[in-house]
Chain A
Protein backbone atom coordinates (compact mmCIF):
# COMPACT_ATOMS: atom_id res chain seq x y z
CA UNK A 1 0.00 0.00 0.00
CA UNK A 2 1.58 3.28 -1.05
CA UNK A 3 2.34 5.35 2.01
CA UNK A 4 0.88 8.64 0.93
CA UNK A 5 -2.60 7.26 0.75
CA UNK A 6 -2.69 7.97 4.44
CA UNK A 7 -1.37 11.48 4.32
CA UNK A 8 -3.43 14.59 4.43
CA UNK A 9 -4.15 16.25 1.15
CA UNK A 10 -5.03 19.71 0.03
CA UNK A 11 -6.96 21.18 -2.79
CA UNK A 12 -5.22 21.16 -6.10
CA UNK A 13 -4.95 24.33 -8.03
CA UNK A 14 -3.70 25.34 -11.39
CA UNK A 15 -1.61 28.41 -11.71
CA UNK A 16 -2.83 28.86 -15.25
CA UNK A 17 -5.69 31.30 -15.26
CA UNK A 18 -6.25 30.73 -11.58
CA UNK A 19 -8.44 27.69 -12.15
CA UNK A 20 -8.72 24.93 -9.65
CA UNK A 21 -7.64 21.72 -11.20
CA UNK A 22 -9.14 19.52 -8.56
CA UNK A 23 -12.21 19.31 -10.69
CA UNK A 24 -11.58 22.18 -13.13
CA UNK A 25 -14.91 23.66 -12.10
CA UNK A 26 -14.64 24.14 -8.40
CA UNK A 27 -14.14 27.87 -8.32
CA UNK A 28 -11.37 30.40 -8.42
CA UNK A 29 -8.01 30.21 -6.77
CA UNK A 30 -4.91 32.29 -6.88
CA UNK A 31 -1.21 32.02 -7.48
CA UNK A 32 1.21 29.77 -5.66
CA UNK A 33 1.78 32.28 -2.91
CA UNK A 34 -1.82 32.40 -1.84
CA UNK A 35 -3.27 30.50 1.07
CA UNK A 36 -3.72 26.86 0.14
CA UNK A 37 -6.70 26.23 2.40
CA UNK A 38 -9.59 24.53 0.70
CA UNK A 39 -12.54 26.58 -0.34
CA UNK A 40 -15.18 25.70 2.19
CA UNK A 41 -17.80 25.23 -0.48
CA UNK A 42 -15.86 22.61 -2.42
CA UNK A 43 -14.90 20.80 0.75
CA UNK A 44 -18.48 20.79 1.99
CA UNK A 45 -19.75 19.52 -1.34
CA UNK A 46 -17.23 16.69 -1.25
CA UNK A 47 -18.13 15.86 2.36
CA UNK A 48 -21.78 15.68 1.45
CA UNK A 49 -21.08 13.41 -1.49
CA UNK A 50 -18.90 11.12 0.60
CA UNK A 51 -21.49 10.95 3.37
CA UNK A 52 -24.04 9.83 0.81
CA UNK A 53 -21.65 7.22 -0.55
CA UNK A 54 -20.92 6.01 2.98
CA UNK A 55 -24.66 5.48 3.33
CA UNK A 56 -24.59 3.37 0.19
CA UNK A 57 -26.04 5.95 -2.18
CA UNK A 58 -25.08 4.75 -5.62
CA UNK A 59 -26.31 7.93 -7.29
CA UNK A 60 -23.73 9.97 -5.35
CA UNK A 61 -21.04 7.61 -6.55
CA UNK A 62 -22.36 7.90 -10.08
CA UNK A 63 -22.03 11.67 -9.76
CA UNK A 64 -18.38 11.32 -8.81
CA UNK A 65 -17.73 8.93 -11.65
CA UNK A 66 -19.37 11.41 -14.02
CA UNK A 67 -17.27 14.35 -12.90
CA UNK A 68 -13.92 12.84 -11.89
CA UNK A 69 -13.34 9.82 -14.09
CA UNK A 70 -12.04 11.85 -17.03
CA UNK A 71 -9.11 13.33 -15.07
CA UNK A 72 -8.26 10.04 -13.39
CA UNK A 73 -8.32 8.27 -16.72
CA UNK A 74 -6.21 10.97 -18.39
CA UNK A 75 -3.48 10.71 -15.78
CA UNK A 76 -3.55 6.92 -15.94
CA UNK A 77 -3.37 6.84 -19.73
CA UNK A 78 -0.39 9.16 -19.81
CA UNK A 79 1.37 7.36 -17.02
CA UNK A 80 0.81 3.89 -18.43
CA UNK A 81 0.49 4.46 -22.17
CA UNK A 82 -2.09 1.72 -22.31
CA UNK A 83 -5.82 2.36 -22.55
CA UNK A 84 -6.97 -0.94 -21.06
CA UNK A 85 -4.63 -0.70 -18.10
CA UNK A 86 -5.58 2.93 -17.58
CA UNK A 87 -9.25 1.95 -17.44
CA UNK A 88 -8.48 -0.75 -14.89
CA UNK A 89 -6.55 1.70 -12.74
CA UNK A 90 -9.32 4.29 -12.96
CA UNK A 91 -11.90 1.72 -11.94
CA UNK A 92 -9.79 0.55 -9.04
CA UNK A 93 -9.20 4.11 -7.80
CA UNK A 94 -12.90 4.90 -7.87
CA UNK A 95 -13.85 1.61 -6.23
CA UNK A 96 -11.42 2.35 -3.42
CA UNK A 97 -13.21 5.62 -2.90
CA UNK A 98 -16.51 3.74 -2.68
CA UNK A 99 -15.10 1.22 -0.23
CA UNK A 100 -13.43 3.78 2.01
CA UNK A 101 -16.23 6.33 2.05
CA UNK A 102 -17.04 5.53 5.66
CA UNK A 103 -13.54 6.53 6.72
CA UNK A 104 -13.53 9.80 4.77
CA UNK A 105 -12.10 12.77 6.64
CA UNK A 106 -13.57 15.73 4.87
CA UNK A 107 -11.19 18.35 6.21
CA UNK A 108 -8.12 16.60 4.92
CA UNK A 109 -8.50 16.20 1.18
CA UNK A 110 -10.69 16.88 -1.77
CA UNK A 111 -12.04 13.90 -3.61
CA UNK A 112 -10.03 14.88 -6.68
CA UNK A 113 -6.81 15.12 -4.69
CA UNK A 114 -7.44 11.73 -3.19
CA UNK A 115 -8.20 10.18 -6.56
CA UNK A 116 -5.06 11.66 -8.13
CA UNK A 117 -2.99 10.17 -5.33
CA UNK A 118 -4.51 6.73 -5.60
CA UNK A 119 -4.37 6.68 -9.41
CA UNK A 120 -0.73 7.78 -9.51
CA UNK A 121 0.18 5.18 -6.90
CA UNK A 122 -1.62 2.44 -8.77
CA UNK A 123 0.14 3.48 -11.99
CA UNK A 124 3.51 3.47 -10.26
CA UNK A 125 2.83 -0.01 -8.91
CA UNK A 126 2.04 -1.23 -12.40
CA UNK A 127 5.06 0.46 -13.93
CA UNK A 128 7.31 -1.15 -11.36
CA UNK A 129 5.73 -4.53 -11.97
CA UNK A 130 6.33 -4.04 -15.68
CA UNK A 131 9.95 -3.14 -15.07
CA UNK A 132 10.43 -6.31 -13.08
CA UNK A 133 9.00 -8.34 -15.92
CA UNK A 134 10.93 -6.60 -18.66
CA UNK A 135 14.35 -7.89 -19.58
CA UNK A 136 15.09 -5.63 -22.50
CA UNK A 137 15.84 -1.95 -22.72
CA UNK A 138 13.04 0.31 -23.77
CA UNK A 139 12.91 0.43 -27.55
CA UNK A 140 14.34 3.40 -29.34
CA UNK A 141 11.72 5.87 -30.40
CA UNK A 142 11.54 6.17 -34.13
CA UNK A 143 10.44 9.47 -35.52
CA UNK A 144 7.74 9.18 -38.15
CA UNK A 145 9.33 8.29 -41.47
CA UNK A 146 8.14 11.11 -43.63
CA UNK A 147 8.93 14.23 -41.67
CA UNK A 148 8.81 16.32 -44.85
CA UNK A 149 5.03 16.28 -44.97
CA UNK A 150 4.75 17.10 -41.30
CA UNK A 151 3.38 15.01 -38.48
CA UNK A 152 -0.26 14.15 -38.69
CA UNK A 153 -2.33 14.42 -35.53
CA UNK A 154 -2.45 10.73 -34.77
CA UNK A 155 1.22 10.24 -35.54
CA UNK A 156 2.09 13.15 -33.30
CA UNK A 157 0.02 11.73 -30.47
CA UNK A 158 1.78 8.38 -30.75
CA UNK A 159 5.15 10.07 -31.00
CA UNK A 160 4.52 12.09 -27.83
CA UNK A 161 3.10 9.09 -25.98
CA UNK A 162 6.16 7.01 -26.82
CA UNK A 163 8.51 9.74 -25.72
CA UNK A 164 6.61 10.11 -22.48
CA UNK A 165 6.69 6.37 -21.83
CA UNK A 166 10.46 6.37 -22.31
CA UNK A 167 10.96 8.79 -19.42
CA UNK A 168 11.86 7.49 -15.98
CA UNK A 169 8.78 7.02 -13.81
CA UNK A 170 9.31 10.03 -11.53
CA UNK A 171 10.03 12.41 -14.41
CA UNK A 172 6.95 11.16 -16.22
CA UNK A 173 4.78 11.61 -13.15
CA UNK A 174 5.99 15.17 -12.70
CA UNK A 175 5.44 16.01 -16.38
CA UNK A 176 1.95 14.50 -16.42
CA UNK A 177 0.82 16.24 -13.24
CA UNK A 178 2.37 19.62 -13.97
CA UNK A 179 2.15 19.98 -17.74
CA UNK A 180 -0.83 17.84 -18.65
CA UNK A 181 -2.99 18.07 -15.54
CA UNK A 182 -1.76 21.62 -14.88
CA UNK A 183 -1.51 21.16 -11.15
CA UNK A 184 0.34 23.78 -9.13
CA UNK A 185 3.98 23.06 -8.38
CA UNK A 186 3.29 22.79 -4.64
CA UNK A 187 0.56 20.26 -5.25
CA UNK A 188 2.72 18.14 -7.53
CA UNK A 189 5.39 18.16 -4.83
CA UNK A 190 2.87 17.09 -2.23
CA UNK A 191 1.40 14.35 -4.39
CA UNK A 192 4.88 13.04 -5.14
CA UNK A 193 5.94 13.44 -1.52
CA UNK A 194 8.93 15.53 -2.35
CA UNK A 195 10.08 19.15 -2.40
CA UNK A 196 9.24 21.81 -4.97
CA UNK A 197 12.94 21.95 -5.87
CA UNK A 198 13.00 18.23 -6.52
CA UNK A 199 9.93 18.48 -8.74
CA UNK A 200 11.53 21.34 -10.68
CA UNK A 201 14.58 19.20 -11.20
CA UNK A 202 12.47 16.25 -12.37
CA UNK A 203 10.54 18.51 -14.71
CA UNK A 204 13.68 20.08 -16.16
CA UNK A 205 15.27 16.70 -16.82
CA UNK A 206 12.06 15.32 -18.22
CA UNK A 207 11.46 18.27 -20.51
CA UNK A 208 15.03 18.24 -21.76
CA UNK A 209 14.69 14.56 -22.66
CA UNK A 210 11.37 15.21 -24.36
CA UNK A 211 12.77 18.20 -26.20
CA UNK A 212 15.53 16.04 -27.62
CA UNK A 213 13.27 13.13 -28.54
CA UNK A 214 10.51 15.27 -29.96
CA UNK A 215 12.71 17.67 -31.89
CA UNK A 216 11.22 16.84 -35.30
CA UNK A 217 7.79 17.65 -33.88
CA UNK A 218 8.41 20.82 -31.92
CA UNK A 219 10.55 22.38 -34.63
CA UNK A 220 7.46 22.43 -36.81
CA UNK A 221 5.79 24.58 -34.16
CA UNK A 222 8.47 27.24 -33.94
CA UNK A 223 7.46 30.79 -34.71
CA UNK A 224 7.97 31.52 -38.41
CA UNK A 225 10.73 34.06 -37.83
CA UNK A 226 12.89 31.28 -36.42
CA UNK A 227 12.56 28.93 -39.41
Chain B
Protein backbone atom coordinates (compact mmCIF):
# COMPACT_ATOMS: atom_id res chain seq x y z
CA UNK B 1 0.00 0.00 0.00
CA UNK B 2 1.48 3.33 -1.02
CA UNK B 3 1.46 6.54 0.94
CA UNK B 4 -0.86 8.11 -1.61
CA UNK B 5 -3.43 5.35 -1.16
CA UNK B 6 -3.29 5.46 2.65
CA UNK B 7 -3.76 9.21 2.96
CA UNK B 8 -7.26 9.52 1.45
CA UNK B 9 -8.42 6.72 3.76
CA UNK B 10 -7.13 8.56 6.78
CA UNK B 11 -8.71 11.79 5.57
CA UNK B 12 -11.95 9.92 5.07
CA UNK B 13 -11.82 8.61 8.60
CA UNK B 14 -11.07 12.10 9.91
CA UNK B 15 -14.10 13.44 8.06
CA UNK B 16 -16.29 10.76 9.63
CA UNK B 17 -15.00 11.43 13.11
CA UNK B 18 -15.29 15.20 12.75
CA UNK B 19 -18.78 14.91 11.32
CA UNK B 20 -20.04 12.94 14.31
CA UNK B 21 -17.89 14.07 17.23
CA UNK B 22 -16.61 17.52 16.42
CA UNK B 23 -13.12 18.97 16.56
CA UNK B 24 -11.99 18.12 20.06
CA UNK B 25 -9.56 15.18 20.00
CA UNK B 26 -10.56 14.29 23.58
CA UNK B 27 -13.96 13.26 22.22
CA UNK B 28 -12.61 11.18 19.36
CA UNK B 29 -12.46 7.39 19.65
CA UNK B 30 -9.37 6.27 21.56
CA UNK B 31 -8.35 4.00 18.71
CA UNK B 32 -8.22 6.89 16.19
CA UNK B 33 -7.05 9.81 18.29
CA UNK B 34 -3.28 9.67 17.95
CA UNK B 35 -3.32 8.88 14.27
CA UNK B 36 -5.82 11.60 13.42
CA UNK B 37 -4.03 14.20 15.50
CA UNK B 38 -0.85 13.37 13.62
CA UNK B 39 -2.69 13.76 10.35
CA UNK B 40 -4.05 17.15 11.38
CA UNK B 41 -0.59 18.29 12.30
CA UNK B 42 0.92 17.30 8.97
CA UNK B 43 -1.76 17.66 6.33
CA UNK B 44 -3.26 20.90 5.01
CA UNK B 45 -6.55 19.33 3.99
CA UNK B 46 -6.89 17.71 7.41
CA UNK B 47 -6.24 21.08 9.05
CA UNK B 48 -8.89 22.71 6.89
CA UNK B 49 -11.44 20.08 7.90
CA UNK B 50 -10.48 20.41 11.53
CA UNK B 51 -10.82 24.20 11.33
CA UNK B 52 -14.33 23.95 9.91
CA UNK B 53 -15.42 21.45 12.55
CA UNK B 54 -13.98 23.66 15.29
CA UNK B 55 -15.84 26.67 13.88
CA UNK B 56 -19.11 24.74 13.91
CA UNK B 57 -18.41 23.61 17.49
CA UNK B 58 -17.96 27.22 18.54
CA UNK B 59 -21.22 28.26 16.91
CA UNK B 60 -23.13 25.41 18.56
CA UNK B 61 -21.74 26.35 21.95
CA UNK B 62 -22.62 29.99 21.39
CA UNK B 63 -26.15 29.12 22.40
CA UNK B 64 -26.10 28.95 26.18
CA UNK B 65 -29.16 27.37 27.75
CA UNK B 66 -29.25 29.82 30.65
CA UNK B 67 -29.92 29.27 34.33
CA UNK B 68 -33.20 28.43 35.98
CA UNK B 69 -34.88 31.26 37.82
CA UNK B 70 -35.30 31.26 41.57
CA UNK B 71 -39.04 31.41 40.99
CA UNK B 72 -38.94 28.17 39.00
CA UNK B 73 -36.98 26.41 41.74
CA UNK B 74 -39.44 27.60 44.34
CA UNK B 75 -42.38 26.57 42.17
CA UNK B 76 -41.05 23.04 41.78
CA UNK B 77 -40.33 22.57 45.47
CA UNK B 78 -43.72 23.97 46.42
CA UNK B 79 -45.43 21.65 43.94
CA UNK B 80 -43.60 18.66 45.43
CA UNK B 81 -44.46 19.56 49.01
CA UNK B 82 -48.11 20.01 48.02
CA UNK B 83 -48.10 16.76 46.03
CA UNK B 84 -49.75 13.89 47.86
CA UNK B 85 -48.25 11.22 45.63
CA UNK B 86 -45.17 10.73 47.81
CA UNK B 87 -46.62 8.26 50.33
CA UNK B 88 -44.32 9.35 53.13
CA UNK B 89 -44.95 13.01 52.49
CA UNK B 90 -44.10 15.11 55.49
CA UNK B 91 -44.46 18.83 55.42
CA UNK B 92 -41.38 19.99 57.27
CA UNK B 93 -41.99 22.06 60.37
CA UNK B 94 -39.85 25.17 60.67
CA UNK B 95 -36.89 24.54 62.99
CA UNK B 96 -37.84 27.32 65.40
CA UNK B 97 -41.24 25.77 65.92
CA UNK B 98 -39.83 22.24 66.28
CA UNK B 99 -37.69 23.29 69.25
CA UNK B 100 -40.38 24.97 71.28
CA UNK B 101 -41.64 21.88 73.06
CA UNK B 102 -38.30 20.49 74.07
CA UNK B 103 -37.15 23.84 75.41
CA UNK B 104 -40.32 24.64 77.39
CA UNK B 105 -42.33 21.47 77.93
CA UNK B 106 -45.09 23.09 79.99
CA UNK B 107 -45.67 25.95 77.65
CA UNK B 108 -47.87 23.80 75.52
CA UNK B 109 -51.46 23.40 76.59
CA UNK B 110 -51.31 19.64 76.10
CA UNK B 111 -48.95 19.09 79.05
CA UNK B 112 -51.16 20.61 81.76
CA UNK B 113 -53.38 17.55 82.39
CA UNK B 114 -50.28 15.44 83.04
CA UNK B 115 -48.92 18.07 85.41
CA UNK B 116 -52.21 18.18 87.33
CA UNK B 117 -52.19 14.39 87.66
CA UNK B 118 -48.64 14.41 89.06
CA UNK B 119 -49.56 17.14 91.54
CA UNK B 120 -52.57 15.21 92.82
CA UNK B 121 -50.41 12.10 93.22
CA UNK B 122 -47.88 14.01 95.31
CA UNK B 123 -50.64 15.61 97.35
CA UNK B 124 -52.09 12.18 98.08
CA UNK B 125 -48.75 11.03 99.47
CA UNK B 126 -48.52 14.13 101.66
CA UNK B 127 -52.03 13.75 103.08
CA UNK B 128 -51.56 10.04 103.60
CA UNK B 129 -48.37 10.69 105.53
CA UNK B 130 -50.14 12.95 108.02
CA UNK B 131 -53.05 10.54 108.40
CA UNK B 132 -51.07 7.31 108.77
CA UNK B 133 -47.89 8.40 110.50
CA UNK B 134 -44.25 7.52 109.90
CA UNK B 135 -44.88 3.93 108.88
CA UNK B 136 -47.22 5.07 106.16
CA UNK B 137 -44.55 7.39 104.76
CA UNK B 138 -42.11 4.52 104.64
CA UNK B 139 -44.76 2.42 102.99
CA UNK B 140 -45.65 5.10 100.48
CA UNK B 141 -42.00 5.61 99.57
CA UNK B 142 -41.42 1.91 99.23
CA UNK B 143 -38.39 1.85 101.46
CA UNK B 144 -36.73 4.57 99.50
CA UNK B 145 -33.54 6.36 100.45
CA UNK B 146 -33.18 9.85 101.83
CA UNK B 147 -32.24 11.28 98.49
CA UNK B 148 -35.37 9.67 97.04
CA UNK B 149 -37.44 11.34 99.72
CA UNK B 150 -35.75 14.65 99.05
CA UNK B 151 -36.54 14.26 95.36
CA UNK B 152 -40.14 13.50 96.19
CA UNK B 153 -40.34 16.54 98.44
CA UNK B 154 -38.76 18.72 95.79
CA UNK B 155 -41.24 17.45 93.24
CA UNK B 156 -44.10 18.15 95.66
CA UNK B 157 -42.80 21.65 96.33
CA UNK B 158 -42.39 22.32 92.64
CA UNK B 159 -45.88 21.18 91.86
CA UNK B 160 -47.67 22.85 94.75
CA UNK B 161 -45.48 25.90 95.20
CA UNK B 162 -45.41 25.26 99.00
CA UNK B 163 -42.41 24.97 101.29
CA UNK B 164 -44.02 22.13 103.30
CA UNK B 165 -41.87 19.28 104.35
CA UNK B 166 -42.70 15.62 104.34
CA UNK B 167 -42.60 14.10 107.81
CA UNK B 168 -39.57 11.84 108.04
Give residues 58-104 of B contacting A (CB, 8 Å): 58-68, 72-73, 75-77, 79-81, 83, 85-92
Choose among B57, B59, B88 the residue with the greatest number of A CB atoms under 10 Å from its CB.
Answer: B59
User: A95 touching B19 by the CB < 8 A rule?
Assistant: no
Q: Is the CB of A101 within 8 A of B86?
A: yes
With a cutoff of 8 Å between Cβ atoms, the chain A residues found around residue B92 in the complex are: 57-59
- Residue of A33, A58, A160, A185 near B60 (CB, 8 A) is A160
CB-nearest residue of chain B to A73: B68
Contact A98 B68 (CB under 8 A): no
B51 at the interface (CB under 8 A from A): yes
**Minimal beta-carbon separation of B56 from chain A (angstroms):** 5
Closest B residue to A86 by CB, please name it.
B65
Q: Is the CB of B20 within 8 A of A53?
A: no
Cross-interface CB contact of B76 among A32, A65, A161, A185, cutoff 8 Å: A65
Is A214 part of the contact surface with B, judged by Cβ < 8 Å? yes
From A2-10, A39-47, A133-141, A217-225, the one touching the partner chain is: A217-225
| Chain B: interface size category | 35 or more
Provide the main secondary structure of the chain B interface: helix
Q: Does A24 interact with chain B (Cβ within 8 Å)?
A: no
- Which of A111-119, A120-128, A199-207 forms contacts with chain B? A199-207
The SS class assigned to the A binding surface is: helix
In the assembled complex, A180 has its CB within 8 A of some CB on chain B? yes
- Known A98-B86, A102-B88; contact A207-B20, beta-carbon cutoff 8 A: yes
Q: How far is the CA of A204 from the CA of B19 in the complex (A)?
A: 5
Specify which chain B residues have a CB less than 8 angstroms from the CB of A157 in the assembled complex: 62-64
For A54, the closest partner residue in chain B by CB is: B88
Residues of B within 8 A of A59 (CB): 92
B 115-150 to A, binary, CB cutoff 8 A, 1 in contact else 0 = 000000000000000000000000000000000000
Q: Which of B24, B55, B76, B90 has a CB less than 8 Å from the CB of A90?
A: B76
**Residues of chain B with a CB closer than 8 A to A222's CB:** 51-52, 55
Q: From A201, which residue of chain B is reached at the shortest CB distance?
A: B20
Instruction: Give B6-22 as 1s and 0s: 1 = Cβ < 8 Å from A's Cβ atoms.
Output: 00000000001001111
A170 within 8 A of B: no
Given contacts A156-B59, A160-B63, A210-B56, contact A91 B75 (CB under 8 A): yes
Distance, CA A99 to CA B87, complexed state (A) = 8
B22 closest partner in A (C-beta): A179
Contact A69 B83 (CB under 8 A): no
A131 interface residue (CB < 8 Å to B): no
Q: Count residues of chain A with CB under 8 A from any CB of chain B.
A: 61
**Sorted from nearest, which 10 A-B pairs have the closest CB atoms?**
A74-B65, A56-B90, A221-B55, A204-B19, A99-B85, A160-B63, A218-B55, A203-B20, A98-B80, A200-B20
Chain B residues within CB distance 8 Å of chain A: 16, 19-22, 24, 26-27, 29-30, 48, 51-52, 54-68, 72-73, 75-77, 79-81, 83, 85-92
A residues near B (Cβ < 8 Å) are 15-17, 31-33, 53-59, 61-62, 65-66, 69-70, 73-75, 77-78, 87, 90-91, 94-95, 98-99, 101-102, 153, 156-157, 160-161, 164, 175, 178-180, 185, 200-201, 203-204, 207-208, 210-211, 214, 217-223, 226
Identify 18 residue pairs between A and B in the complex whose beta-carbon atoms are under 8 Å apart, listed by A's number: A32-B30, A58-B90, A78-B63, A87-B68, A91-B72, A91-B76, A95-B80, A98-B86, A102-B87, A156-B62, A179-B61, A204-B16, A207-B19, A207-B20, A211-B56, A214-B56, A218-B52, A221-B56
